[in-house]
Structure 1
């Protein structure tokens, strides 16, 4: 059971009903994370647009595999379940997913896959926060999304050793303030 009950179809407005219809058509059911994020429709729409854009930009067996490993490492049973379903629908070998914890030595994984999976492990850690009582559901959804987004940004930059450009010291290009 989720910490936050999702918005039901009955309680959803017109926009959320349209999102639920699309999700049901795409996946056969409305994913529970969608119903929880629906407490903040603007974040839900931003997240949905982001997910669709990323899917168009980077999609393939290796990407699906590292996403699955990240879900396993984080212990997100929903993500593991959903990820396996997506990989199955893409025609990928999901039997080897049973051996994902042994990827480093398993002959079921290629050298490239082993290196990508090790990279996913190195970049993954578990954040935990219980703030709903202090800030309410809508703000908790927005806060969690923003933290996850910054995790994405910071992990991307850290992985590529991207350093500051001097924006705070005035040495970098600046956008005019007027």
Structure 2
């Protein structure tokens, strides 16, 4: 099935949006959380939301950040594989909870938050939360306007 975008990406149509998105990206990536960890968070939230364009770009960005194929293939099943550190598991759980807000009355439990806080300081946690929110923002833009993943891998 070929997906055709309804309109070009909305962020690209509004130049001020691109500036704001770039600032969010810079802020989230400036707090000392490893780039690969942020890419795993982006990839997992995008998988949950079914955003093909973001899954594609997330996997590519994670590879550029040094992620292995083995770990990328296992992100969707991170709980059942030995490939992730305790810190990565903590932020993947946080990313899932923050992405699935409507699934439970207390979407981000104290246990999920406390485990992430064991591995990251407040500034890093702020970056992770901002990055999850930004990823969900991207997912919603892309899903609403049916932005396709690239058809040609180069």
Say if 1:118 and 1:79 are closer, same or farther in 2 by CA, change over 3 A: same
Name the residue aligned to 1:95.
70
Deviating 4+ runs (over 6 angstroms): none
Q: Deviations over 1:65-114 (max 9, x none)?
A: 11211111111111111111111112221322212222112112223322
Name the residue aligned to 1:136.
none
RMSD over aligned CA atoms reads: 2.8
Note the 1:58-69 alignment, pairs <5 A: 58-60=32-34, 61-69=36-44
Structure having the larger proportion of residues in helix = 2
For these two proteins, the number of residue pairs brought into alignment is 102
Using the alignment, how far apart are the partners of 1:59 and 1:111 within structure 2? 14
1:51 to 19, 25, 32: 25
Q: Which has the higher contact order (CA 8 A, sep 6+)?
A: 2
Q: Does 1:72 align with 2:47?
A: yes
Structure 2: runs of 5 or more not aligned = 103-129, 135-154
Say if 1:41 and 1:88 are closer, same or farther in 2 by CA, change over 3 A: same
Q: Give 1:58 deviation, angstroms.
A: 4.8
Name the residue aligned to 2:119.
none
Q: Deviations over 1:118-162 (max 9, x none)?
A: 1211110389xxxxxxxxxxxxxxxxxxxxx9x949xxxxxxxxx
Say if 1:126 and 1:74 are closer, same or farther in 2 by CA, change over 3 A: farther
Q: Deviations over 1:48-67 (max 9, x none)?
A: 23223333335522222112
Structure 1: runs of 5 or more not aligned = 7-32, 128-148, 154-178
Using the alignment, how far apart are the partners of 1:91 and 1:97 within structure 2? 11
Provide the TM-score with structure 2 as the length reference: 0.55
Name the residue aligned to 2:121.
none
Provide the TM-score with structure 1 as the length reference: 0.48
Using the alignment, how far apart are the partners of 2:28 and 2:86 within structure 1? 25
Q: Does 1:2 align with 2:1?
A: no
